[in-house]
Amino acid sequence: MTLSLRQFLACWGVVAVSACSVFADDELKAKPAKPAAKADEKAADPYAVPDGTPEQITDFLDGLRRKRKEFATREDAVDHAIKVQRALIAGADKILAKKTDEDTAYAAAEMKLKALGLLASAGIDGAMEEALKAAKALMKDEREDIAELAGEWHGELRVMGAPELEPVERAALVEEYLAAVKSSKYSRSSLADALRLGEALETHPDNSVPAEYYVDLAALLKLSANPQYVEIAGVLESNVRRLKLPGNSIVVEGTTLAGQPFDWAKYKGKVVLVDFWATWCGPCLEELPNVKASYDKYHKQGFDVVGISIDENKEQLAEFLKEEKIPWTNLFADEGNQPTARYYGISGVPTAILIGRDGKVISVNARAEMLTELLEKEFAKPDPAAKPKGK
């Protein structure tokens, strides 16, 4: 599972603004050019971790993370972010090499594993292999709490890297996790691990990868005879239906805000955005102007929107739709329990699904620039229902 640039910067405390303002050492701030240093003078590396006591090393690292610097480019910001993580790893190694108390050693091990995990999740070359190697080495540490921590991280890293594995290696990992569920007699920890693997696999570009895994895991859970696990199997099957939506038809059911049964057949032949949202969802509200603009631009050409709200307060939803002058149909369900969301395993909002004129799903992530691009492409195509000119 790879982090985006914005996520990578945010994970270590950077707010990526136009000036690329990030945390750094004072020595990194932009300064006027200085005369060239003499050949025998070595420029100090502001990221080099000094020798000292664990407290002194920790103070240095804290200062490196807290102080600010402005970069002209994102590339410079990312380079700094990587160097900070490398400094944390180096500092942790220096602390772990010293004779110190268990709490300090544990904190150093955790710092090292977190930094390596962040680099790995950002897709830095070689970072995943390095992180796995470090975790495996710490699993042999004589301090039990550090060894246990490293074992947990080793498992998390393997899951994190699952989407990038070669098919044979990924298949072996999947088989290992499924076998663990069965051999442990459906222990909660093994099931939690198996579900995390599924979440990681959902980031794979080929939806068939997580879909096939969920099918196998659901079948295994149904054999447990545990009602709760059988229920989870049903949720996984819903996820499979969602993952298989692109290129296939979707069925939308529910009740309108006015209390009438929703008629999906009325939208046949249209380009439709099925928008799962809520009035309390910040990202949903941020996307609303874009959806409105798209509706105004393409509605007369056959574009429509169906809002599926998971709000629980009907009056609040009605008031919001009135204030925002939303022209399209919205569905409401008691306690936000929407049948379409449940059927397709949609547990988070916003989720925006775009359907073409042929009734087939184009995208399950039709938001922001993606929505704009998809609509431009779709309406550039000739309408199959339109009558030829001159007839």
What is the mean pLDDT of the segment spanning 339-364?
A: 96
pTM over 0.85? The answer is no
d(CA 49, CA 108): 14
Average of pLDDT values for 343-356? 95
- Residues 109, 150: contact at Cβ < 8 Å? yes
Q: Are residues 150 and 171 in the same domain?
A: no
Q: Which comes out higher in pLDDT, residue 40 or 268?
A: 268
Name the band, by pLDDT with cuts 50, 70 and 90, for residue 43. low
Residue 255: inside a domain: no
Measuring CA to CA, how many Å separate 152 from each of 103, 189, 243, 290, 340?
18, 11, 29, 42, 36
Q: How large is the average pLDDT for residues 357-377?
A: 96
The three state secondary structure string of 183-210 is HCCCCHHHHHHHHHHHHHHCCCCCCHHH
* Six-digit token string for 20: 């690329």
Could you say which of 131, 160, 189 is where a domain stops? 160
Band (pLDDT 50/70/90 cuts) for residue 23 is very low
Distance CA 231, CA 355 (A): 29
Q: Where are the alpha helices (DSSP H) in 45-187?
A: 54-66, 74-96, 102-121, 127-138, 144-160, 167-183
- Give the confidence band of 329 by pLDDT, cuts at 50, 70, 90: very high
Q: Let me know whether 110 and 50 are in one domain.
A: yes
Give strand pairing partners of 329: 306
For the chain, the average pLDDT equals: 89
- Whether residue 254 lies inside any domain: the answer is no
In terms of domains, do 186 and 333 share one?
Answer: no
Give me the CATH number covering residue 274: 3.40.30.10
- Is the model more confident about 231 or about 40? 231
Q: How many CA atoms lie within 13 A of 182 on its CB side?
A: 13
354 belongs to a structural domain: yes
Residue 384 lies in a domain: no
Which CA distances in Å does 173 have to 127, 154, 167, 176, 179?
Answer: 19, 13, 10, 5, 10
pLDDT digits (tens, 9 = 90+) for 178-192: 999 999 999 999 999
Same domain flag for 132 and 120: yes
Q: Tell me the pLDDT band of 5, cut-offs 50, 70 and 90.
A: very low
**Domain membership flag for residue 279:** yes
Domain of 282 in residue numbering reads as 264-379
Kindly state whether residue 386 falls inside one of the protein's structural domains.
Answer: no
Mapped onto helix, strand or coil, the DSSP state of residue 353 is strand
- Nearest-angstrom CA–CA distance, 379 and 6: 32
Range scoring the smallest mean pLDDT among 1-5, 119-123, 298-302: 1-5
Domain boundary among 160, 183, 210: 160
Residues 193, 68 within the same domain: no
Q: Residues 141, 14: one domain?
A: yes
Based on the domain organization, do 147 and 198 belong to the same domain? no
DSSP 2-31: PPPHHHHHHHTT----TT-EEE--GGGS--
Same domain? 230 vs 320: no
The domain tally of the chain equals 3
DSSP, res 43: P
* Crossing angle for the helix pair 102-121 and 54-66, to the nearest 10 degrees: 30
Query: Domain ends where: 243, 272, 303?
Result: 243
Give the per-residue pLDDT at 347.
Answer: 87
Q: Say yes or no: 130 and 83 in one domain.
A: yes
Q: Work out the pLDDT band at 107, boundaries 50, 70, 90.
A: very high
Could you tell me if 192 and 152 lie in one domain?
Answer: no
Starting at the edge strand found earlier in the chain, the sheet holding 303-309 runs 329-331, 303-309, 271-277, 351-355, 361-363
**Looking at the structure, do residues 211 and 286 belong to the same domain, yes or no?**
no
Under 8 Å between Cβ of 206 and 167: no
- Cα–Cα distance between 273 and 352 in angstroms, integer? 7
Verify that 223 and 322 share a domain, yes or no.
no
